[in-house]
C-alpha cells in the first residue's frame, strides 16, 4: 500500500487541529469529531494542550484515505513552539498549509510557506473557516498570491461564505476559468509548457493534461493547488482529500538499502523509558538490531527492545519498521531529537528556523529542589534541544532558551505537574549573537615560559557568510600531530565560541589552525606511559581557549540583536498614536494601509521590545489592536553592545585562567 507522511501546518487558530479531526472522521478512525475548545481532540493529548486549546507537541496519527496510508503529523501553530515544526519538516513527504478565510495570511503563515518552498516540500493550501462571519476566500486567494507565492491554482469556488451553509465546489472538467488559470501558472513554471501554450496547442488545455501537469509540478513543489472549506462543517473536505491523493507524492525509499532514519520526537513512557519517533527513509530496523547513530556509552550502538508502527489508525507492535514508515522505538537510552539512525541523509540535520531569541533564569521556589530541577530540565531538553540548558556554576543559576512568554508558562506548568517542582523566572533577556568584525590571529608555543601546557596552538579567525555557523580548517600538515590532538582543538574551538568577547555565541566564523606542536609519547624504563613528560589531548583543550580568544580579540566582534517582522491591525483613527509608539520602541514601519475603519501596519521591531509593544497596544487602540510578530533577521545593536555574564573559566583573563586551569 502507498504511504504518505503528511504534515498539517498553520498559524495559530487557523483551524489546523480541527482539520486533523475532520480528516480522521472522514477516514473512519473516529466516530465523533473532537473540539479544541472542549479539549476533546485526538492529537492534543496533553492535559495542558486540552486546557489551553493549543497544540504544544507534535502528534502522529495514521489512517487510510482512498487507498493511501497517511501518517498525519499535527504540529503546533503558536510561534513559541516553532521548534516542534522544525523537527517535523525533516520527515515529511508533503504538507497542507491551513489559512483562515477570515484572518487571511498571517505572520507565521509567511514563515511556514517560505520554509516549505525553500525545502521543496510539496504543499497544498486549505483556506479554512468559510462558515465564519467575515470569510472571504477571494480576498485570501489574492493575499496568498501576493504574500506567499504567485504559483498557486484555485481548485474550486466558494459559496455562501460567512454562513453555516458555506461550501466549496471543485472545478469540473470543462471549467474554462480553471483551465486558463492553471495554464498560466504552469506556463510560468515550465518553458516547454509555455511554448506549447503560446503556440496554441489545444492538447495542453485539456482537463486531463492540465491536472497531470499540475500533479507533476506540485510533486516538485513548483506549484501549489488551493482548496477551501470548513473543518467544522466538513465543507470542502472531500475535495481536499482528493487533492491529497492526486497531487502529493507518496513515500519513496529503498527497502533493501542500508538503514537510514531520523528521530523527530522523543517521549518518555510510564516507567521513564525513552520512546523515539523515527521516520525511516531507506532500509529497515528490526527488533533487537543494534542501532548506530544513537550510540550507547560503549560505542557499539543501542539495542532496539521494542517497535510499534503507525498504521490504520493505531500503532501496533511490530517486529520491524521499514522504509517510508514512522515507528516508535524503545531501548535507545541515549537517543536525542535530531539523531540519525544508520546512514545520514544529505542535509537531514539542517536548521530551518531561527533559534530561540529569549533566555530566562529558572529558580526553584524550594531551594531543596535545585538538584531535581536540573535533572527535570535535562529531561525536557531531551524532548526540546533548543531549550539549550545552560548552567552558571559561579552564580549557581540555570538558564533556558525560549521563543516566548507562552512557552515559559508551559515550562513552568510542566515542571509543576509532571515533576512536582514549583519554579519562578528571575529574569528574561534577549539572546544576541556575535560575529567577527575582521581577521585576527594568535599562537602559543610549546616550551615557553608563558605556556604551561605541552602543546603548540596557533589559530586564525575570519568572518564567514551570514548563516554559515562555525567552520574549522587546517593550515598545517595533517600528519604533523596525532589525529586526536586535532580533534581536541576543533571540538574546543566550537565549544569556546559559545561565549565571545561580550559573552554571546559567536557565529559566521571560519577558524584555521596555523601552528601545531607536541611532545611525543614518553615512557619510563619499564615501559609505562609518563604523562608528565608527554603531550595529551587535555593540553590542547586547555590551551585552545586562550589562543582563540586572543585571535578573536584582535579581530573584534560586532553584537547583533534579533529583529522581528510585525503585522499590526488597529482602528484607523488610532494610527496617529500607534506609529509614534512603534518608533519610540525602535520599530521601523515600512507599510501602512487603511481598509475602511481599520488599518494595517507592517515593519520591523527589535525582539527586545515586542513584549513592551504588546503591553502598550491595548491602551493605544482601545483594546482593539492585534499584533503578530516573528523572527526576521539579526541586526547590529545600536549604541553600547550588551554583555552576557560568562559561565566558563574566562579565557579573556589569561592570568586568572592559568591560575585556575592547571595542567
For the segment 619-658, what is each residue's pLDDT rounded down to a tens digit?
999 988 888 787 888 999 988 999 998 888 899 999 999 9
Confidence at residue 267, expressed as pLDDT on a 0 to 100 scale: 85
Handedness of CA 200, 174, 178, 210 (dihedral sign): negative
Residue with cell 576543533: 490
Q: Which helix (H) or strand (E) holds 193?
A: helix 191-198
Instruction: Please give the CATH superfamily to which domain 358-431 belongs.
Output: Elongation Factor G (Translational Gtpase), domain 3 (3.30.70.870)
Identical fold, 2-172+223-245 and 260-342: no
Find the angle CA(538)-CA(544)-CA(547) to the nearest 5 degrees: 150
Q: Which class does domain 260-342 fall in?
A: mainly beta
pTM summary value: 0.72
Domain residue spans of the chain? 2-172+223-245, 260-342, 358-431, 561-636
Confidence at residue 483, expressed as pLDDT on a 0 to 100 scale: 94
Cα separation, 113 vs 353, in Å, equals 12
Confidence at residue 299, expressed as pLDDT on a 0 to 100 scale: 52
For the segment 432-444, what is each residue's pLDDT rounded down to a tens digit?
999 999 999 999 9
Cα separation, 623 vs 157, in Å, equals 36
Using 70 as the pLDDT threshold, list the residues of the chain that sit under it: 1, 31, 34-57, 77-83, 197-205, 292-300, 313, 346-354, 394, 523-531
Confidence at residue 134, expressed as pLDDT on a 0 to 100 scale: 93
Cα separation, 360 vs 388, in Å, equals 11
Q: Which three cell numbers stand for residue 85?
A: 515544526
Helix or strand or coil: residue 337?
A: coil
Measured CA distances, 143 to 139, 171, 412 (Å): 6, 21, 38
Q: List the alpha helices (DSSP H) in 7-146.
A: 16-26, 47-52, 82-89, 107-118, 137-143
Residues 6+ apart with CB under 8 A from 198: 187
Give the HSE-up count for residue 233: Cα atoms under 13 Å, Cβ half-sphere: 18
Confirm if 440 and 553 have CB atoms less than 8 A apart. yes
Confidence at residue 388, expressed as pLDDT on a 0 to 100 scale: 80
Q: Which three cell numbers stand for residue 543?
A: 590551551
Q: 197: phi > 0 → left, psi -120 to 50 → alpha, else beta; which?
A: alpha
Across the strands, what pairs with 125?
97, 226
Helix or strand or coil: residue 455?
A: strand
Q: Which CATH number fits domain 561-636: 3.30.70.240, 3.30.70.980, 3.30.70.270, 3.30.70.20?
A: 3.30.70.240
The proportion of the chain whose per-residue pLDDT surpasses 90, expressed as a percent, equals: 48
Cα separation, 46 vs 54, in Å, equals 10
**Topology given in CATH for the domain delimited by 2-172+223-245:** Rossmann fold (3.40.50)
What is the separation, in whole angstroms, between the first and last Cα of the chain? Answer: 62
Confidence at residue 296, expressed as pLDDT on a 0 to 100 scale: 42
Amino acid at each position: 500500500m502507498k504511504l504518505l507522511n503528511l504534515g498539517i501546518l498553520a498559524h495559530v487558530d487557523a483551524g489546523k487541529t480541527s482539520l486533523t479531526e475532520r480528516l480522521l472522521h472522514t477516514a473512519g478512525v473516529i466516530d465523533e469529531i473532537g473540539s479544541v475548545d472542549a479539549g476533546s481532540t485526538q492529537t492534543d493529548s496533553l492535559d495542558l494542550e486540552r486546557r489551553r486549546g493549543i497544540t504544544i507537541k507534535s502528534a502522529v496519527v495514521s489512517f487510510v484515505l482512498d487507498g493511501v496510508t497517511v501518517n498525519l503529523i499535527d504540529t503546533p501553530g503558536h510561534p513559541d513552539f516553532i521548534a516542534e515544526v522544525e523537527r517535523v519538516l525533516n520527515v515529511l513527504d508533503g504538507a497542507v498549509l491551513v489559512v483562515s478565510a477570515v484572518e487571511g495570511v498571517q505572520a507565521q503563515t509567511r514563515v511556514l510557506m517560505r520554509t516549505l518552498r525553500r525545502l521543496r516540500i510539496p504543499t497544498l493550501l486549505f483556506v479554512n473557516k468559510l462558515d465564519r462571519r467575515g470569510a472571504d476566500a477571494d480576498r485570501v486567494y489574492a493575499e496568498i498570491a501576493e504574500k506567499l507565492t504567485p504559483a498557486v491554482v484555485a481548485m474550486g469556488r466558494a459559496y455562501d461564505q460567512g454562513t453555516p451553509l458555506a461550501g466549496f465546489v471543485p472545478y469540473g472538467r470543462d471549467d474554462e476559468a480553471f483551465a486558463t488559470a492553471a495554464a498560466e501558472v504552469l506556463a510560468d513554471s515550465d518553458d516547454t509548457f509555455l511554448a506549447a501554450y503560446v503556440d496554441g496547442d489545444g492538447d495542453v488545455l485539456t482537463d486531463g493534461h492540465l491536472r497531470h501537469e499540475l500533479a507533476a509540478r506540485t510533486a516538485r513543489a513548483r506549484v501549489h493547488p488551493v482548496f477551501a472549506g470548513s473543518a467544522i462543517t466538513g465543507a470542502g473536505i472531500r475535495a481536499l482529500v482528493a487533492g491529497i491523493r492526486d497531487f502529493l507524492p507518496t513515500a519513496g525509499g529503498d527497502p533493501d538499502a542500508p538503514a537510514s532514519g531520523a528521530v523527530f520526537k522523543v517521549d518518555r513512557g510510564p516507567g521513564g523509558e525513552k520512546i523515539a519517533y523515527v521516520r525511516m527513509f531507506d532500509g529497515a530496523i528490526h527488533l533487537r538490531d543494534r542501532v548506530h547513530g544513537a550510540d550507547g556509552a560503549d560505542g557499539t550502538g543501542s539495542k532496539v527492545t521494542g517497535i510499534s508502527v503507525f498504521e490504520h489508525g493505531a500503532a501496533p507492535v511490530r517486529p520491524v519498521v521499514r522504509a517510508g514508515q514512522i515507528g516508535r522505538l524503545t531501548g535507545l537510552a541515549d537517543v536525542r531529537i535530531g539523531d540519525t539512525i544508520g546512514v545520514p541523509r544529505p542535509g537531514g540535520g539542517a536548521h530551518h528556523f531561527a533559534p530561540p531569541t529569549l533566555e530566562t533564569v529558572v529558580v526553584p521556589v524550594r531551594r531543596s529542589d535545585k538538584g531535581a530541577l536540573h535533572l527535570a530540565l535535562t529531561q525536557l531538553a531531551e524532548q526540546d534541544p533548543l531549550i539549550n540548558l545552560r548552567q552558571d556554576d559561579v552564580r549557581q543559576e540555570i538558564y533556558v532558551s525560549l521563543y516566548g512568554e507562552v512557552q515559559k508558562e508551559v515550562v513552568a506548568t510542566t515542571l509543576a505537574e509532571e515533576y512536582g517542582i514549583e519554579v519562578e523566572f528571575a529574569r528574561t533577556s534577549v539572546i544576541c549573537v556575535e560575529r567577527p568584525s575582521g581577521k585576527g590571529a594568535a599562537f602559543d608555543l610549546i616550551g615557553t615560559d608563558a605556556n604551561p601546557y605541552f602543546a603548540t596552538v596557533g589559530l586564525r579567525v575570519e568572518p564567514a557568510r551570514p548563516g554559515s555557523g562555525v567552520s574549522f580548517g587546517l593550515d598545517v600538515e595533517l600528519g604533523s600531530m596525532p589525529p586526536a590532538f586535532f580533534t581536541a582543538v576543533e571540538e574546543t574551538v566550537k565549544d569556546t565560541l559559545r561565549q565571545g568577547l561580550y559573552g554571546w555565541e559567536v557565529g559566521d566564523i571560519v577558524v584555521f589552525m596555523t601552528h601545531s606542536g607536541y611532545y611525543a609519547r614518553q615512557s619510563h624504563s619499564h615501559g609505562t606511559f609518563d604523562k608528565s613528560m608527554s603531550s595529551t589531548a587535555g593540553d590542547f583543550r586547555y590551551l585552545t581557549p586562550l589562543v582563540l580568544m586572543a585571535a578573536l580579540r584582535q579581530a573584534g566582534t560586532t553584537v547583533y540583536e534579533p529583529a522581528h517582522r510585525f503585522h499590526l491591525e488597529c482602528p484607523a483613527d488610532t494610527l496617529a498614536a500607534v506609529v509614534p509608539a512603534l518608533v519610540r520602541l525602535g520599530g521601523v514601519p515600512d507599510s501602512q494601509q487603511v481598509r475602511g475603519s481599520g488599518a494595517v501596519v507592517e515593519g520591523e521591531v527589535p525582539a527586545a521590545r515586542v513584549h513592551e509593544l504588546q503591553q502598550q497596544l491595548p491602551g493605544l487602540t482601545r483594546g482593539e489592536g492585534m499584533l503578530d510578530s516573528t523572527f526576521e533577521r539579526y541586526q547590529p545593536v545600536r549604541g553600547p553592545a550588551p554583555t552576557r555574564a560568562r559561565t566558563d573559566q574566562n579565557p579573556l583573563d589569561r592570568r586568572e585562567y592559568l591560575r585556575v586551569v592547571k595542567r
